Structures are given as structure tokens and as C-alpha cells.
Chain A
Amino acid sequence: MAKIQLNGRKLELKNKHTIFALLKKYKIDGKKIAVELNGKIVNRNKYKTVYIKNLDKIEIVHFIGGG
């Protein structure tokens, strides 16, 4: 089990998750977002190989309207 923070929210993941699995869990289209893991950008080619660990801080961002 991993206690993580996702976009500022505390969460518990019961099974082992890759970034790819996490995106799938939340039905997020990986092409429209960027992921930051503990302050470092995760290259989109590595979503399937990077595993989420206990106490990881993850940020998932996308584009919104702005000036």
C-alpha cells in the first residue's frame, strides 16, 4: 500500500501502480496532460515503467483557458 499525494489530495493506493495505471484509474487521457513526480517531470514515454512509491507527491496538469 502506498500513501500518496495527488494534486494536493491525500490518497491510498492498495495495489502497485505505474503512472499509466494511475491515469487509467482516473480515466485521464495521457496525451492531454503532463505529470510531475516529486517535483520532476515524468517523460511521457515512461508512464508504463515508473512505479508509484509510498509518500510520492504527484501533480497532473492540463491546459485551461487563460490570458
Chain B
Amino acid sequence: MRNDIFRVGNQVLKSRLIVGTGKYKSFKETVQAVKISGADMVTVAVRRINILDKKKPLLTDYLDPKKIKYLPNTAGCFNSEEALRTLRLAREMGGWKMVKLEVLGDKKTLYPDMIETLKATKILVKEGFKVLVYCSDDPLLARELEFLGASAIMPLASPIGSGLGIQNKINLSIIIRNSKVPIIVDAGIGTPSDSTIAMEMGCDAVLVNSAIAKAKNPILMAESFKNSVISGRQAFLAGRMQKLFYADASSPSKGLI
């Protein structure tokens, strides 16, 4: 495991668990959950500053971008122009070149608009961004994203914030098999066993937000996710036993009395 290095974009990450920073009750809770999760990269959103409330605490006061890697996202963007605008602002804020692109196509399902996503990926790659792309679990579109220069493919397990787990294992395994860039399952993970399954299947990492933030005890859940990702990765590296259709006794029959 020590030699098991996770490279994505221009970064080397220690943890294969990336966590979101949304939906927590407080910044204090966010910090505690992030810390115990062991994640060294967190997703963040770009929004207008509140000019009326000058004393309102900022995320950067709690999670130091010098100590933990920020992965700016484009959550809430419904076309490529909005997404590009957001990520260019993010880059200006602190020079972030590695970003998470998500262009949404539908308010109810938050399903990605893949036409706009492909368009934005192409432009961002040209501008020198390392783009991690939230996408549908369509193997052909994933291949197209890789062709356009995406640094990582991030297929959804199920709709954002739904907690429904991996709904299409077949598609996900085809995407994993076909891809040369990291596959990070993003969205829909509901419980640690979902991320273990993703990792056992050969995903390179998982991105989790709601499943931790919305747990009754987010701190304990963050720790559980840490363990589940390590466990799944170890199982993948170890290589699982073959499935059999009939029983194969564990105790030898030789010497039976």
C-alpha cells in the first residue's frame, strides 16, 4: 500500500477519498470531518461574498488552502459559459489549475448536461486547466472526455445527494476498463460500503459529501468512509477469489474419520 500512489492531474494525493465541504452544520464540523476523513483534497464552491455581513466567517479561515488542496467546482452552473466563468474566477483567487467541472442539465435530477460538459472540457484543457469532470456513466462519453484531455473522469453513482449508491455497475466497470485516466466515483454514494464496492471494482478514488455531512454523526461517518476506501482499495490490489457456482469445502476431506 505504501507504493500505491494516487496521481491525478498535476497532484499526488495520499488519500483516495476526496470530500466535499457543503451541507455541514458549521465550519467547525466541516473541519473535524475533513480532518478525520484523512482526505488531502476537498471540493469547494465559488459564490458571491456577503458584502453586508463583514464579520461572517469564511471557509478559508477554517480550512487553510495552503494545508489542504482545494478543488474548486462549478456546482449550480447550467451551461458551459457559467462554468468557465466560475473556474476562471477560481483560478484568479489562488492559482488553482486543477478543478472539478460539473455542468448540470436538470434541476430535479442534477444530471449532467454532457453536451455542455464536453464543450467546457475542451476549452478548459486548452486554457491549461487540469479538469476533473463530473459526468454521466456512459462509457462512450467517458471515452470522449478522455480524448478531449480530461485529467479524471468522475461518473455519478446515482443522482447528487441521493445516497442511492452505484446504480449501474456494468457501465462503471466498462468505464474503468477502458480508461487510462483516473476514475473517481462522484455523487450518489450513500454509505461507506458503496465506496468500498467502487474501490473494489477498480475505481481510483471516490468523492463524498452528503453521505458524511448528512449522517447523524458526521465525524464518525467521515472516519468510517476513510476506512471503507482503504479497505476497498486493499481488496482491489489483493485480487478477489474466483466466484464458483457450487460449494468448495474449506476443511480438507483427507484424513476424515
Q: Is A7 within 8 A of B92, CB to CB?
A: no
Query: Would you give the shortest CB distance from A3 to chain B, in whole angstroms?
Result: 16
Query: Which residues of the other chain, A, contact B22 by a CB distance below 8 angstroms?
Result: 65-67
Q: 8 interchain pairs (CB within 8 A)? A: A7-B48, A34-B90, A61-B47, A61-B49, A64-B47, A66-B44, A66-B209, A67-B20
Q: Is B45 within 8 A of A32, CB to CB?
A: no
Interface presence of A60 (CB below 8 A): yes
Query: Would you give the shortest CB distance from A28 to chain B, in whole angstroms?
Result: 6
Closest to B88 in A: A41
Interface presence of A56 (CB below 8 A): no
- Name A's B-contacting residues (CB within 8 A): 6-9, 26-28, 32-34, 36, 41, 43-44, 59-67
A-B contact count (CB 8 A): 96
CA distance A64 to B24 in the complex (A): 11
Query: Would you give the shortest CB distance from A45 to chain B, in whole angstroms?
Result: 11
Q: Is A44 within 8 A of B20, CB to CB?
A: no
Query: Would you give the shortest CB distance from B190 to chain A, in whole angstroms?
Result: 14
Known: A65-B59, A67-B160. A8 touches B48 (CB 8 A): yes
**Most chain B CB neighbours (cut-off 10 Å) among A7, A59, A62:** A62
Interface presence of B3 (CB below 8 A): no
Known: A9-B51, A26-B54. A65 touches B23 (CB 8 A): yes
CA distance A8 to B48 in the complex (A): 9
Query: Which residues of the other chain, A, contact B170 by a CB distance below 8 angstroms?
Result: none
CA distance A63 to B30 in the complex (A): 14
Interface presence of B73 (CB below 8 A): yes
CA distance A19 to B23 in the complex (A): 32
Query: Which residues of the other chain, B, contact A6 by a CB distance below 8 angstroms?
Result: 51
Q: Is B89 within 8 A of A34, CB to CB?
A: yes
Q: Is B51 within 8 A of A64, CB to CB?
A: no
Query: Which residues of the other chain, A, contact B210 by a CB distance below 8 angstroms?
Result: 67
Interface presence of B202 (CB below 8 A): no
Q: Is A41 within 8 A of B72, CB to CB?
A: no
Q: Is B48 within 8 A of A32, CB to CB?
A: no
Query: Would you give the shortest CB distance from A55 to chain B, in whole angstroms?
Result: 18
Query: Would you give the shortest CB distance from A42 to chain B, in whole angstroms?
Result: 8
Q: Is B51 within 8 A of A34, CB to CB?
A: no
Our pick among B45, B48, B85 for the contact of A65 (Cβ within 8 Å) is B45
Query: Would you give the shortest CB distance from A15 to chain B, in whole angstroms?
Result: 18
